[in-house]
Amino acid sequence: MEYYSKTLDNGIRIIHKPVKSLVGHCAIMINAGSRDEKENEHGIAHFIEHVIFKGTQKRKAYHILSRLDDVGGELNAYTTKEETCIYASFLIQDFERAVELLNDITFNSVFPEKELEKEKEVIIDEINSYKDNPSELIFDEFEEVIFGDDPMGRNILGTPELLKSFKKEDILNFIKNNYHSDQIVFCSVGNISEKKIDKIARKYFSQIPENRRENKRKEFTSYKPVTKTVDKDTWQSHVMIGNIAYPFQHKDRLGLSLLNNLLGGPGMNSRLNLSLREKTGIAYNIESGYTPYDKTGIFSIYFGTDEENIDRSLNIIHRELKRLREKPLGILQLSKAARQLKGQLAISSDNKENLMLALGKSYMLFNKVDSLETAYKKIDKITSADLQRIANEIFDEKQLSMLIYK
């Protein structure tokens, strides 16, 4: 059995991959994030991720935090623009213990007012810490530049003013309107039999009330290139350039991932790292990124350098983008790029927590999971002509926005 999957009558989906290990991982993944907030709810999805641990109908906050810690396990959560995830790692004999806990905090949290007020101060500190770190803040503000007033442009943390206004009623309304049963996936990786997975999934998830999504997210269609400079009075300047990109539904999503990996991905031999850091030494941090979303996406390049080197750095970057637009990759270059991406996928999947989260997200978005072999075949089908066409669409100099912190 490569995967076990099941859809319950209420729409909740279950996906499990058996692996031989003393450690297991599981998560409840919900297709709802900051993009789904109304204007007066800005920051509430992330706020819920924090306060969901503060008490349930049968547990105080301390008992929630201790439930897995007492047996050496770990409990965590995260929020993105489009998803909320509560996940755990544990010794395999504690699998049901972890599932019961995730179920309890996801579906039975009571959000005590006293705890809400304390956690608001914690998140305000988190917001302020971002303001002290321009190399992180610029990523959020660049998305504001790209997406403007659209909900996609709002940062996940929200604002102190709105945070202070949130009440328990607001939280319950957001959950009711966005935590749809057919948009919830329980995913796990571990040495657990199909029979046990089926039994536990039914026990903890079949009784959740059915609440299916009726409205789809609106498509973002109003992109216009913007250039913005902000005086931050920092020692180092920070710069981002980029464009809207393919959504996760797009046929060229994998091609752009390969192109991004070649240009400025995690490898030290990426074109931007070699040209800006290794050859000229004018930038310490240089990277590119591609994030596909529902019906939209974003491609970006970030670098930090001294103010006097901004123009020189931008010239080098535009030269590299122009090369990709105008000169197709040779057979050897394409083969090396494909092999590098395959290797990175394999190494990432060898981390069982990463594998579990990737499993859940793929099942949540596509209702299927591709094996590594299937992913490799898709990568091998990408041609130099495909990459050149993608480069001309996404790296079009006239369509690039830019944000500079000086």
pLDDT interval class at 252 (50, 70, 90):
very high
Task: Determine the average pLDDT of the residues in 384-406.
Answer: 97
Return the DSSP state at 345: H
* pLDDT per residue as tens digits for the range 99-148: 999 999 999 999 999 999 999 999 999 999 988 899 999 999 999 999 99
DSSP-derived secondary structure for 112-146: -HHHHHHHHHHHHHHHHHHHT-HHHHHHHHHHHHH
Q: Which helix (H) or strand (E) holds 288?
A: strand 286-292
- Over residues 234-248, the mean pLDDT reads 95
Confidence at residue 353, expressed as pLDDT on a 0 to 100 scale: 96
Structure confidence by residue, pLDDT tens digits, 321-370: 999 999 999 999 999 999 999 999 999 999 999 999 999 999 999 999 99
Residues 164 and 252 in one domain: no
In the chain, % helix, strand, coil (3-state, to 5) comes to 50, 20, 30
pLDDT of residue 44: 98
Total domain count for the chain? 2
At 244, is the pLDDT very low, low, confident or very high (cuts 50, 70, 90)?
A: very high
Of the candidates 302, 171, 147, 333, the one whose C-alpha atom is nearest the C-alpha of residue 239 is: 302
The C-alpha atoms of residue 165 and residue 157 are separated, in whole angstroms, by 14
Q: Are residues 166 and 269 in the same domain?
A: no
Q: Which tokens belong to 337? A: 């790029």
Looking at the structure, tell me whether residues 200 and 93 fall in a common domain.
Answer: yes
Examine the pLDDT at 1 and tell me if it is beyond 80: no
Q: How far apart are the first and last CA of the chain?
A: 55
DSSP symbol at 211 = -
Task: Kindly state whether residues 11 and 138 are assigned to the same domain.
Answer: yes
Whether 67 contacts 223, CB under 8 Å: no
In a domain, 220, yes or no: no
Closest CA to 392 of 291, 316, 313, 321: 321
Cα–Cα dist 338/371, whole Å: 16
The mean pLDDT of 291-320, rounded to a whole number, is 96
| pLDDT of 235 | 86
Average pLDDT estimate for 266-290: 92
* Domain housing 121: 4-205
Q: Report the alpha-carbon distance of residue 248 to residue 365 in Å, rounded.
A: 8
Position 286 scores a pLDDT of: 95
**Residue 233 confidence (pLDDT):** 82
Mean pLDDT in residue range 141-161: 95
Q: What is the pLDDT of residues 45-79, one digit of tens each?
A: 999 999 999 999 999 999 999 999 999 999 999 99
Query: Could you give the C-alpha distances from 69 to 12, 53, 58, 92, 224, in angstroms and in order?
Result: 28, 14, 18, 14, 49
**What CA–CA distances, in Å, run from 75 to 69, 102, 105, 156, 242?**
8, 9, 11, 21, 35
Average pLDDT of every residue of the chain: 95
Same domain flag for 10 and 94 = yes
Residue 170 lies in a domain: yes
381 and 233, same structural domain?
yes
Q: For residue 163, how many other CB atoms are within 10 A of its CB?
A: 21
Q: Is the pLDDT of residue 33 over 80?
A: yes
Residue 66: inside a domain, yes or no? yes
Residue 104 counted as domain residue: yes
Q: Any bridge partners for residue 297, and if so which?
A: 292
What is the percent of the chain with per-residue pLDDT over 70, rounded to a whole number?
Answer: 100
pLDDT for position 130? 86
Per the domain annotation, does 74 fall within a domain? yes
One domain, residues 29 and 174: yes
Residue 95, Cα to own-chain centre: how many angstroms?
A: 25
The beta-carbon contacts of 7-11 under 8 Å, at least 24 apart in sequence, are 8/201, 8/202, 8/205, 8/206, 9/206, 9/210, 10/181, 10/182, 10/205, 10/206, 10/208, 10/209, 10/210, 10/211, 11/180, 11/181, 11/182, 11/183, 11/184, 11/210, 11/212
Residue 210 lies in a domain: no
What CATH number is given to the structural domain containing 179?
3.30.830.10
Q: What percent of the chain stands above pLDDT 90? A: 95
Higher pLDDT, 354 or 284: 354
The answer to whether 86 and 45 are in contact (CB under 8 A) is no
Contacts of 204 (CB under 8 A, 6+ apart): 99, 100, 103
Rounded to the nearest 10 degrees, the angle between the axes of helix 352-366 and helix 331-350 is 110
The answer as to whether 211 is a domain residue is no
